[in-house]
Amino acid sequence: MGIAELVSTGQPSRVVANFRANQNNALWITMTQSPHGRSQNFSLDLLQDVSALHKSIHANGIAWVANGSKQPIHYVVLQSAHPDYFSLGGDLAHFRECIRRRNKRCIAWT
């Protein structure tokens, strides 16, 4: 089971899951770089993808299908796809544009 099976929005996923049964049954979750060429950042899309993965893991009994059978997940490791840093700040370009347009709604949490 891969993240592509879990997130069916038709959009590129912001996370990639890789289960390593031979390495302590660890599920490695890699946060991918932005499809727009910008730095990684917290976004509603990223949170939705992580939430979909989390729900799928729990629906599957905290297990991952590997080599044709369910394997228990012992560890989850979160990593960045960027080779030099692990950072998920806010989308500053988005915030700057909202401020420039004086649009409070586009940066409000609702």
CATH number of the structural domain spanning residue 10: 3.90.226.10
Where is pLDDT greater, at 95 or 69? 69
Residue 8: per-residue pLDDT: 40
Residue 73: per-residue pLDDT: 94
Which residues constitute the domain of residue 42? 3-107
DSSP class of 53: H
C-alpha closest to that of 7 among 37, 38, 32: 32
For the stretch 26-73, pLDDT in tens is: 999 988 876 666 666 777 778 888 889 999 999 989 999 888 889 999
What is the phi-psi region of residue 7: left when phi exceeds 0, alpha when psi lies from -120 to 50, beta otherwise? beta
CB 4 within 8 A of CB 13: yes
The Cα-based distances of 23 to 50, 54, 58, 75 in angstroms read: 22, 20, 21, 10
- How many domains are contained in the chain? 1
Rounded distance between C-alpha atoms, residue 110 and residue 107, angstroms: 9
